[in-house]
Amino acid sequence: MTKTPQQEELASREYKYGFVTDIETEAFPRGLSEAIVALISERKQEPAWMRDWRLKAYRHWTTMTEPHWPNFHYGPIDYQALAYYSAPKKKTDGPKNLDEVDKELLETFERLGIPLTEQKRLTGVAVDAVFDSVSVATTHQSELAKQGIIFCSMTEAISHHPELVKKYLGSVVPSTDNFFAALNSAVFSDGSFCYIPKGVRCPLELSTYFRINSADSGQFERTLIVAEDDSYVSYLEGCTAPSRDKNQLHAAVVELIALNNAEIKYSTVQNWYPGDKEGKGGIYNFVTKRGKCIGVNSKISWTQVEAGAAITWKYPSVILQGDNSIGKFYSVALTNNRMQADTGTKMIHIGKNTKSTIISKGISTDHSNNNYRGLVKILPSADGARNFSQCDSMLVGNNCSANTFPYIEVKNPTAVMEHEASTSKISAEQVFYLKSRGLDMEESVSLIINGFCKEVFKELPLEFSVEAVKLLEMKLEGSVG
């Protein structure tokens, strides 16, 4: 494929969020041992039960081996070479309000387009910003508190709401769940905690913004969202990291709990640094995300736009335990250059009349490798379960690959499930039509791809939807034509 000079220029456009913020961080020894785990706990001034929980997870982790079944390749990770804690150095005991937050840090978030200052409340989004491993600022807290909503960093939650954390932490993703979840349980440094009380419809979109800044540190954050009976919350998550030559590990855990009639909507726009054109550097995004519809009529929906990270390996799942509960998964995964993605979902139907929908769109360009892997499991107790899955892949260029591995396990004869998938390229007829209308190649392709992903984008909250479209356009610049 020959590229015009303009396309060349576009293709070499750099990762917009690749800058490094020169900020003083607390030094922390590298490596991993029980002492390190205890040290993390100590630095965070955690109660004893939390430290013991971490140590238990660490001990289990040492008995596990790193899994290698996914359909991608990466070099060995040296877990002893990583620093497991990195926090912006605090001047005093920690900022009491935004004025005390490091100015440079605020500027960083400004540059990322994340409004942390409360004057910008017009945006209607409450933000918890996580810089390296530590939550630096949470906005709109007081407003949310009026309704009884708790939205704070995990560290705060552990000290202020230990009963809730004790009850729910690890109830969906146990610390023994898998290799990376165990690692996260042992060393997680911060994250967001969100609790919506009974009957409350959260008035704002809650949002967490993750940023990895330090080199040679892994990021291990933990998010826990609990929606009590009859409540509703929409939660957004965004991620970026500086461009570095070395691969960095991001192993997060997200747990969602929906009780009777509750609804949780979780949206992610993931744009970690994907490495350069030759595949050097970039984030390894090995994340465990799982939601549990415990109550009847509860609903959890995952919407994700995966456009970054050298390797994305995650399967946001829903355990449909309550009768009539609903699980949804909408995903767009775009891979370019040498990116690799093995992503999809798991829908586990346990309760009666449970329903799940899976819409997955994969776009693969350049030398990338894009995999959909999903599991729909209908257990014998799930009478009248219903599933619809659709996973479409689009290939742009002949050096990429797209694979689909759907697992469907039905153990109940009253279940109805449909699965469909397709793989194709952008049709020449469609491009010709658009070009004949005066659009250039790039605009045509962008339009077609937007149409391809529309079903997923329309599930995103408005601001994110716009961001996602832009992100996709930016990523595709120069790689098509």
Enumerate binding residues for other proteins (CB under 8 A). Answer: 393, 395-411, 413-425
Q: How many CB atoms lie within 10 A of CB 94?
A: 12
In the complex, least distance from residue 240 CB atom to other proteins, rounded to whole angstroms: 29
In the complex, least distance from residue 364 CB atom to other proteins, rounded to whole angstroms: 9
In the complex, least distance from residue 400 CB atom to other proteins, rounded to whole angstroms: 7
In the complex, least distance from residue 164 CB atom to other proteins, rounded to whole angstroms: 39
402 to each of 1, 154, 313, 434, 471, how far by Cα in Å?
Answer: 19, 37, 15, 26, 21
Q: Which is nearer to other proteins, 165 or 378 (CB)?
A: 378
Q: Which is nearer to other proteins, 18 or 406 (CB)?
A: 406
Q: Which is nearer to other proteins, 49 or 407 (CB)?
A: 407
CA distance 265 to 293: 12
Q: Which is nearer to other proteins, 396 or 471 (CB)?
A: 396
Nearest to 243 by CA among 10, 21, 473: 21
Question: Which residues make Cβ contacts (< 8 Å) with residue 197, sequence separation at least 6?
Answer: 147, 148, 149, 228, 231
In the complex, least distance from residue 344 CB atom to other proteins, rounded to whole angstroms: 12
For 51-60, which contacts have Cβ atoms below 8 Å and span 24 or more sequence positions? 53/169, 53/170, 53/175, 53/185, 54/185, 54/186, 54/187, 55/186, 56/175, 57/175, 57/176, 57/182, 57/185, 57/186, 58/32, 58/34, 58/182, 58/185, 58/186, 58/187, 59/34, 60/175, 60/176, 60/182
In the complex, least distance from residue 341 CB atom to other proteins, rounded to whole angstroms: 14
Question: Which residues make Cβ contacts (< 8 Å) with residue 398, sequence separation at least 6?
Answer: none
Q: Which is nearer to other proteins, 157 or 358 (CB)?
A: 358
CB of 57 closer than 8 Å to CB of 175 = yes
Pairing status of strand 282-293 against strand 253-258? parallel
14 DSSP 8-state letter:
P
In the complex, least distance from residue 405 CB atom to other proteins, rounded to whole angstroms: 5
CA distance 269 to 235: 11
In the complex, least distance from residue 393 CB atom to other proteins, rounded to whole angstroms: 7
Q: Which is nearer to other proteins, 11 or 417 (CB)?
A: 417
CA distance 111 to 35: 37
In the complex, least distance from residue 390 CB atom to other proteins, rounded to whole angstroms: 9
In the complex, least distance from residue 422 CB atom to other proteins, rounded to whole angstroms: 4
Runs of H (alpha helix) within 276-410: none
CA distance 410 to 419: 13
Segment (H or E) for 127: strand 125-131
Q: Which is nearer to other proteins, 185 or 336 (CB)?
A: 336
- Partnered with residue 249 across adjacent β-strands are 284
Q: Which is nearer to other proteins, 36 or 333 (CB)?
A: 333
Q: Which is nearer to other proteins, 398 or 436 (CB)?
A: 398
CA distance 481 to 478: 7
Cα 408–377–422 angle (5° rounding)? 35
71 to each of 208, 244, 422, how far by Cα in Å?
Answer: 30, 24, 19
Q: Which is nearer to other proteins, 83 or 378 (CB)?
A: 378
Q: Which is nearer to other proteins, 304 or 404 (CB)?
A: 404
In the complex, least distance from residue 378 CB atom to other proteins, rounded to whole angstroms: 8
